[in-house]
Structures are given as C-alpha cells and as structure tokens.
C-alpha cells in the first residue's frame, strides 16, 4: 500500500487496512511502518525553479547576505523583528478573500486597508512594501499606484514562496484543512 503512494498519512493507511478487513489502531500501523524500515515524515514542498529563477534568487540572497538585523528591521521588514518579553501582548488576526483578485481589486485593498494601516504604523516615515509576483501585484497599473503613492516595493525573486513570511501562515492553514478533511461546506466553515 505504501509503495503506491508514499504521501499517505497513518490515518489513510489505517483506513485502507480497515476497509480490507484488518482492524487495527493508529499506533499499530505506526509500529508496522517502522518495522518495515519506513519513517514518517512530512514531505518538504519546494518550488520548481527554472535556471533564470534560480539565478535571480541567488542574486537577491547574495545582495542581502551581509545585512544586519537592524537593516532587515528598518529597511526591508519593519516591525517584524522585536525583543522578547515574558508575557507579550497578542493580537487576533483574520483575513478572507471572497472574490478573485485582479489589479483593480488589489489596488482597492491597498487604498482602503494597507494605506491606513501603514499610516498608523509608520506615520510619515518611509517604508518598503513586500508582496509576491502574483499578476495583480505586477500589473503596470499596480506599479503606477505604488509610484503615485511614493511607496517603494521590495524587488522579489519569482517563484520564491519559501522567502515570504506569510507562507508560514498559509502552510498552517493548509495543514489544518488537510487534517480536518472537510467534506461539506459546513465542515469547512467549522
């Protein structure tokens, strides 16, 4: 069973064994997998990069390899590096997308949500904005929007989700969805 699909979870294997008439626990499945010489691991997902993308990533990383914490926190990723305290304050964050995002809708989001937030965070100080190379982000009208508002955009290598901090959040959301395995809209909403 494992040779056919090495990405199955222990739960998947247990379900298949149960369907074939072998009642067992998840712990027993785990022991049998170990006895057969397999190890349970979460596969690493890495972007498939072409030569040009790899070269751009290398150039980007080389340019920034000697940056200090101060440079990252002030010039590129403000507010993302901070001192640790024993009982830090916390903030609940939520986000949702209810439609496809094109250049026009992205610019509306920037205008109505990003700009007010940036003004609260930075006041009149300059900041550098980071987004990926989604079509709505790279549209000429979006570039003009940033220029018109005097906002510098961090040059970002293509196909580089592993460099983007928000991808950690999306990974957690995907993992929770995968583990929950919703079959209906109500289960998905729960």
What pLDDT does residue 93 have? Answer: 44
Secondary-structure class of domain 71-175 per CATH: alpha beta
Which 3-state string (H, E, C) describes 64-112? HCCCCHHHHHHHHCCCCCCCCCCCCCCCCCCCCCCCCCCHHHHHHHHHH
Q: Where are the domains of the chain?
A: 71-175
User: Computed from CA positions of residues 91, 92, 98, 99, in that sequence, does the dihedral angle turn out positive or negative?
Assistant: positive
Give me the pLDDT at residue 14, please: 85
- pLDDT confidence of residue 74: 60
Cα–Cα distance between 85 and 82 in angstroms, integer? 9
Query: Which residues of the chain are modeled with pLDDT < 70?
Result: 1-2, 73-98, 161, 164-165, 189-190
Torsion of CA 137, 143, 144, 147, to 10 degrees: 120
Residues ≥6 apart with Cβ < 8 Å to 7: 43
Can you tell me the distance from the alpha carbon of 80 to that of 74, in angstroms, rounded to the nearest whole number? 9
What pLDDT was estimated at residue 83?
47
């Amino acid at each position: 069973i494992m040779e056919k699909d090495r990405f199955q979870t222990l739960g998947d294997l247990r379900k298949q064994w149960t369907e074939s008439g072998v009642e067992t626990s998840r712990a027993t499945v785990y022991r049998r997998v170990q006895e057969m010489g397999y190890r349970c691991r979460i596969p690493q997902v890495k972007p498939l990069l072409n030569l040009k993308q790899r070269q751009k990533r290398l150039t980007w990383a080389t340019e920034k390899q000697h940056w200090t914490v101060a440079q990252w926190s002030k010039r590129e990723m403000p507010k993302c590096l901070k001192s640790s305290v024993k009982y830090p304050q916390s903030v609940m964050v939520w986000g949702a997308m209810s439609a496809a995002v094109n250049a026009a809708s992205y610019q509306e989001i920037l205008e109505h949500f990003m700009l007010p937030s940036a003004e609260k965070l930075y006041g009149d100080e300059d900041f550098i904005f980071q987004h990926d190379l989604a079509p709505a982000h790279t549209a000429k009208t979006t570039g003009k929007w940033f220029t018109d508002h005097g906002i510098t955009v961090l040059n970002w290598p293509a196909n580089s989700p592993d460099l983007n901090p928000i991808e950690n959040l999306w990974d957690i959301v995907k993992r929770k969805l995968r583990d929950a395995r919703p079959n209906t809209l109500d289960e998905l909403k729960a």
